Structure 1
Amino acid sequence: MKLFRHPPVVTSLGPTNHPYLTGPWTPLHEEVDAEDLEVIEGTVPSDIAGIYVRNTENQVHQPLGSHHPFDGDAMVHRIEFSNGKVRYGNRFVRTRCFAAEQEAGASLWGGLADPVQTAKRPGFGAHGALKDSASTDVVVHAGKILATFYQCGEAYQVDPDTLDGLGVAPWVPIDGVSAHCKVDESTGELMFFNYSKHAPYMHYGVVGADGRLKSYVPVELPGPRLPHDMAFSENYSILNDMPVFWDEKLLERNIHAVRFRKDLPSRFAIIPRHGTAEDIRWFEAAPCYALHFVNAFEDGDELIVDGYFQEDPTPPPLSEGAVEGYEHLMAYLDMHSFRSRLHRWRFNLKTGETREERLCDRIVEFGMINTRLAGKPYRYVYSVGAKPGWFLFNSFVKHDLETGESTELTLGEGCFASEAPFAPRIGSTEEDDGYLVSFVIDENSGTSECILIDAKNFAAGPVCRIALPHKISSGTHSVWADRSIIDAGKAASQA
Structure 2
Amino acid sequence: MTKAFPAMMTQGIDEPCRFEGEVFDLEVIEGEIPPSLDGLLVQAVPDQTFPPEIANLHLMTVAAGGDGSVRAFRIKNGHVDFRTRYVRTERFLLERAARRSLFGNYRDPFSDDPSVEGKSRTTANTALFYHGGRLLSAKEDGLAYEIDPTTLETHGPWTSDGAITSKTFTAHPKIDPNTGQLFAFGYAAKGETTRDIAYYVFDASGRLEHEVWFEAPRSAMIHDCALTQNYMIFPVMPITSDMDRLRSGGPHFIYEADMPQYFGIIPRMGNADEVRWFKAPSAFPGHTVNAWEEDGKILLDLLEADGNGFAPVVQDSDGNAPPPGTVQNALVRWTIDYHANPDELTEAHRTVLTPVGGEGAHIDPRREMQEYRHMFVPTLDPSKLSTDVNGRPVPVLFNQLSHFDLADGTRDDWFPGPATTFQDPVFVPRSADAPEGDGFVIALLNRPLERRSELVILESLNLSAGPVARLSLPLRMRLGIHSTWVDGAHVAEWF
Deviation of the 1:419 alpha carbon: 0.6
Deviation of the 1:156 alpha carbon: 0.6
Q: Tell me how far apart the structure 2 counterparts of residues 14 and 254 of structure 1 sit (CA, whole Å).
A: 24
Equivalent position of 1:147 in the other structure: 137
Q: Deviations over 1:215-272 (max 9, x none)?
A: 2211322342211111112322111234431358646857446444455431211222
5 Å-filtered alignment, 1:65-464, equals: 65=54, 66=57, 67-112=61-106, 117-121=110-114, 131-150=121-140, 152-171=141-160, 172-196=164-188, 197=192, 201-246=196-241, 250=245, 255-256=250-251, 258-313=253-308, 331=321, 334=324, 336-352=325-341, 354=345, 355-386=349-380, 392-464=397-469
Q: Tell me how far apart the structure 1 counterparts of residues 114 and 134 of structure 2 sit (CA, whole Å).
A: 30
Contact 2:442 2:456 in 1 (8 A): yes
Q: How many residues align?
A: 461
Q: Deviations over 1:158-185 (max 9, x none)?
A: 1112212111112243322022122333
Deviation of the 1:296 alpha carbon: 0.7
Q: Tell me how far apart the structure 2 counterparts of residues 405 and 238 of structure 1 sit (CA, whole Å).
A: 29
SS in 2 for 1:109: coil
Q: Tell me how far apart the structure 1 counterparts of residues 319 and 489 of structure 2 sit (CA, whole Å).
A: 41
Q: Which runs of 5+ in 2 are unaligned?
A: 383-392
SS in 1 for 2:7: coil
Q: Tell me how far apart the structure 2 counterparts of residues 182 and 454 of structure 1 sit (CA, whole Å).
A: 26
Q: Tell me how far apart the structure 1 counterparts of residues 115 and 400 of structure 2 sit (CA, whole Å).
A: 40
Question: Which of 457, 462, 477 is the aligned partner of 1:472?
Answer: 477
AA matched with 1:404: G
Deviates more, 1:337-346 or 1:66-75: 337-346
Measured at CA, do residues 445 and 254 of structure 1 come closer, stay the same or move farther in structure 2, by a change above 3 Å? closer
Question: Which of 7, 21, 27 is the aligned partner of 2:10?
Answer: 21
Deviation of the 1:304 alpha carbon: 0.9
Contact 1:386 1:392 in 2 (8 A): yes
Equivalent position of 1:324 in the other structure: none
AA matched with 2:462: N
Q: Tell me how far apart the structure 2 counterparts of residues 219 and 205 of structure 1 sit (CA, whole Å).
A: 12
AA matched with 1:41: E
Contact 1:116 1:255 in 2 (8 A): no
Contact 2:452 2:476 in 1 (8 A): yes
Deviation of the 1:52 alpha carbon: 0.7
Contact 1:225 1:245 in 2 (8 A): yes
Q: Tell me how far apart the structure 1 counterparts of residues 199 and 3 of structure 2 sit (CA, whole Å).
A: 38
AA matched with 1:182: K
Q: Which runs of 5+ in 1 are unaligned?
A: 1-10, 319-327, 488-495
Deviates more, 1:40-49 or 1:245-254: 245-254
SS in 2 for 1:187: coil
Contact 1:148 1:156 in 2 (8 A): yes
Contact 2:296 2:337 in 1 (8 A): yes
Equivalent position of 2:44 in the other structure: 55
Contact 2:41 2:485 in 1 (8 A): yes
Contact 2:193 2:243 in 1 (8 A): no
Equivalent position of 1:491 in the other structure: none
Q: Tell me how far apart the structure 2 counterparts of residues 466 and 185 of structure 1 sit (CA, whole Å).
A: 32
Measured at CA, do residues 247 and 118 of structure 1 come closer, stay the same or move farther in structure 2, by a change above 3 Å? closer
Q: Tell me how far apart the structure 2 counterparts of residues 332 and 72 of structure 1 sit (CA, whole Å).
A: 24
SS in 2 for 1:458: helix
TM-score for the superposition, normalised by structure 1 = 0.85
Contact 2:358 2:398 in 1 (8 A): no
Measured at CA, do residues 250 and 89 of structure 1 come closer, stay the same or move farther in structure 2, by a change above 3 Å? closer
AA matched with 2:101: S
Aligned alpha-carbon RMSD (Å): 2.9
TM-score for the superposition, normalised by structure 2 = 0.85
AA matched with 1:39: V
Contact 2:106 2:252 in 1 (8 A): no
Equivalent position of 1:321 in the other structure: none
Q: Tell me how far apart the structure 2 counterparts of residues 13 and 340 of structure 1 sit (CA, whole Å).
A: 40
